[in-house]
Amino acid sequence: MEWKGMDVVEKPFNSIWGSLARPSWAVILLVLTVMGVSWLQMSTKTVSPIWVSSSNEESAFSIDPRRSCSGFFEMGPPRKVVMSIADFGGVGDGKTSNTDAFRRAVEHLKGFGDKGGSQLNVPEGKWVTGSFNITSNFTLFLEKGAVILGSQDPKEWPVIQPLPSYGRGRERLGGRHISLIHGDALTDVVITGQNGSIDGQGRMWWELWWNRTLEHTRGHLLELMNSHNILISNLTFLNSPFWTIHPIYCSNVVIKGVTILAPLHSPNTDGIDPDSSSQVCIEDCYIESGDDLVAVKSGWDQYGIAMARPSTNIIVRRVSGTTPTCSGVGIGSEMSGGISNVLVEDLHVRNSAAGVRVKTDKGRGGYITNVTITNLTMENVKIPIRFSRGSNDHPDEGWDPRALPLVKGIFFNNVVGVDIRQAPVLEALEGAPYEGICLTNICLDGIPPPATWQCEFVTGDAVGVSPMPCPQLHSNGSSTWCLPS
C-alpha cells in the first residue's frame, strides 16, 4: 500500500504540528480556526478539579471532569497487603516459567479481597508466564522495567468456553484460548505501573493464523468479563496474539495512559475493544497495530441479538495512532446487542486505512445510535470516514437475513484531514438506511478530483463540508437538528 514506506514510528501525543510533513497555510488556518472555536467553547465552562473520590494519591489526571474519565472509576484506599511476585518463587530471568508463581500469588492474595484488598508487584525483569486469572480488590503493579512475557506454549493458554454473545470462537468454531491475563466477575481491579510492559509475544499465534493451522480462536492479551470498576493505566501492551484489551460485559472501565504496539501487519491485533460494556472511558492512549485502534462491539448476529447486551456510554478521548489496514475507531461490525452514546474526541489518526469506520451487515440486527465524533484530525489516511456493509461474516448458518441493524444519529464535527486519498464512502444496507447523519465543519485535503463521495442508503445533513458531500447529505441551509457546534 502506498503509505507503507512512510516513517510510522512516533512518540505518543505528538501534536499535529510536529507531525505534519507539508502543511499548507490553508490547512494551518483551518486547524487554528477549529481549535480556536472549540477552545472558546471550552473556556466558557467552569472547571472543577475532581477526578476520583476518596483517593489519597496525587493525580495528574485531567482536571475538567467533562474532559476526563472522572466518575467512571472509583479509586479506593491503598491496598492493605502488598507482595511481590518474587515472594512466590517468581524468577524474572526471561526463561523460567512463572505460571505457577502468578497463579499461587493470586490464589493467596484473593484471601485479602474482603480484608482491605491486595497488590501484586512485578519488579524489573522479564517474567515469562502462561495465562493467569486475577481477582477482586486487587492491583497488579508493574514497576519500571518490568516485562511480563506471554508463554510460547499454546497449552499455557488453555481453551475456555466461547462468549455467549458470539456463540463460538470469533475465528474458529468452539472454544477459544483464554487471554494471558484474565478476570471474570471481578470488582475493583487496577492494572497499572511505571510503564512496565505486558508482551504477548504473539508472533507464534500470528503464524498459526497465517499458515492456517490455528485450531482455536487466539487469546487476547488482557480480557475482563462481567466485571465492574476497572482501571488500566500507565502500561505498555505489546504483541497481543489477538485483540489487545477486551472488556466484555463490564461496566465502569477506565483505560488511560496506555501504549499499545503490535507490528502494523499483524493479524487482528485490535488495540482496545469495549464489547457489550457500559461506562467505558479510554483516554490519552497511543496505539499502533494491525487492526482497529479502538473497536466498539456488542456481539455477533443471532447470539448477540439473543443476549441483547449493548455497549453504551463509551468515551474515546485523545487517542492517536496508526493502522495501515483498518481504522482509528471502528464501530462494529459485531454490534448485534446494540451500541449507543459513543463520544470520540480528539482522535488523531495517521498513515492509516480509515479514520472512523462504521461496519454493519445483514443478520446483525441491533442498533447504532447517538455517536459523536468531534475534533478528529487525520494525516495520510486512505478513506477518512467510512460506513461499510456486507463482509458476509457470520457465526454459522443460523443467522437471520431479515435481522437488519438500525443506524441513527451519527455526528461528525470539526474534522481536519491532510493527505487524504479518497472522499468518504458512506454505504449502508438496502432496506435499512442510516438516518440522521450530521456532518459539520469538515475539511478533507489532498483528495484527487473529482473527489466524489460514494453514498448509498444514507440520509442527513452537511454544513461546512469540503469536498462537497453527496446529494443525500446536502443541507438546504435550514437544518434545525444538524448545526455546527
Ligand X SMILES: *[C@@H]1O[C@H](CO)[C@@H](O)[C@H](O)[C@H]1NC(C)=O
The site for ligand X (CB under 6 A) is made up of 12, 15-16, 35, 38-39, 57, 59-60, 76, 103, 113-114, 133, 136-137, 160, 182, 184, 188, 192, 195, 204, 207-208, 211, 213, 233-234, 236, 257, 259, 341, 343, 346, 348, 370, 372, 375, 377, 476, 478
The residue (of 361 and 379) whose beta carbon lies closer to ligand X is: 379
By the 10 Å C-beta count (0-12 exposed, 13-18 middle, 19+ buried), 417 is classed as buried
Q: How far is the CB of 332 from ligand X (least distance, A)?
A: 17
User: Which of 275, 291, 361, 461 does the annotation list as catalytic?
Assistant: 291
Output phi, psi for 328, to 5 deg. -60, -60
Torsion of CA 228, 231, 237, 243, to 10 degrees: 30
Instruction: Write the Ramachandran bin of 484: left for phi over 0, alpha for psi from -120 to 50, otherwise beta.
Output: beta
Q: Which of residues 184 and 393 has its CB atom nearest to ligand X in the complex?
A: 184
- Which residue's C-beta sits nearest to ligand X? 113
Q: What is the DSSP string of 346-383?
A: S-EEEEEEEEEEEE--TT---EEEEEEEEEEEEEEEEE
Q: At its nearest, how many Å lie between ligand X and the CB of residue 96?
A: 18
E strands along 41-85, which residues? 81-84
**Beta carbon nearer to ligand X, 256 or 389:** 256
Minimum CB separation of residue 391 from ligand X in Å reads 25
User: Does 291 qualify as catalytic in the annotation?
Assistant: yes
Q: Which is nearer to ligand X, 298 or 302 (CB)?
A: 298
Q: How far is the CB of 370 from ligand X (least distance, A)?
A: 4
Which residue's CB is nearer to ligand X, number 263 or number 400?
263
Q: With 0-12 CB in 10 A as exposed, 13-18 as middle and 19+ as buried, what is 111?
A: exposed
User: Amino acid letter at 216?
Assistant: H
Q: Give the nearest distance from C-beta 396 to ligand X in angstroms.
A: 23
Distance in Å, CB of 282 to ligand X, minimum: 13
Q: Which is nearer to ligand X, 140 or 425 (CB)?
A: 140
The strand ranges marked E within 212-326 are: 222-225, 228-233, 236-238, 245-248, 251-256, 259-261, 278-288, 294-296, 311-322
Residue 82: count of CB within 10 angstroms of its CB: 15
Task: Print burial letters for 221-232: b (CB count within 10 Å at least 16), e (below 16).
Answer: bbbbbbbbbbbb
- Just list the catalytic residues: 291
